[in-house]
Amino acid sequence: MTPSGAWLLVVEDEEPTRRTLRDYLVRRGDCVDEAATAAEALRAWDAHRPDLILLDLGLPDLDGVDVIRRIRRAAATPIIVLSARGEERDKIAGLDAGADDYLSKPFSVASSRHEFMP
């Protein structure tokens, strides 16, 4: 399938979740870059300037909130946090840092043909 949708960056340290997100988005026609660490995410963002970033906060090398702040210093790329951190203070921290939305894991994306749950 040739990508015809958005260029997305999926930042998730858990490989099965990252792979599931990637597969779902590619089936939708999106082009997907992947990163398992903050360093990889910042390199990929700088190289390709994606249309949207899906970002886990619990990264092994740097907190996702810091990634949001670094990106926000240079651009307004939309960022949606996908995190197991469901406490209100975590959501506020992510949104205050500049995230556009926050989804707590687990979450579901349903369509007419399939359902996705990382």
- pLDDT for res 93: 96
Q: Is residue 58 part of a domain?
A: yes
Q: Which of 3, 55, 57 is nearest to 32 (CA)?
A: 3
Q: Is residue 118 part of a domain?
A: no
Cβ neighbours of residue 64 closer than 8 Å, sequence gap 6 or more = 11, 38, 55, 56, 57, 58, 81, 83, 94
Average pLDDT, the chain: 89
Percent of the chain with pLDDT over 70: 88
Q: Is residue 22 part of a domain?
A: yes
The tally of domains found in the chain comes to 1
Q: Is residue 115 part of a domain?
A: no
Report the predicted TM-score, pTM, of the whole model to 2 decimal places. Answer: 0.87
Q: Residue 98 is part of a domain; what is its CATH number? A: 3.40.50.2300
Q: Is residue 2 part of a domain?
A: no
- Banded pLDDT at 109 (limits 50, 70, 90): low
Q: Under a CB-based contact definition with an 8 Å cutoff, are residues 56 and 34 in contact?
A: no
86-105 pLDDT tens trace: 889 999 999 999 999 999 88
Q: Is residue 46 part of a domain?
A: yes
Instruction: Give the mean pLDDT of 18-23.
Output: 93
**Residue ranges making up the domain that contains 81:** 7-110
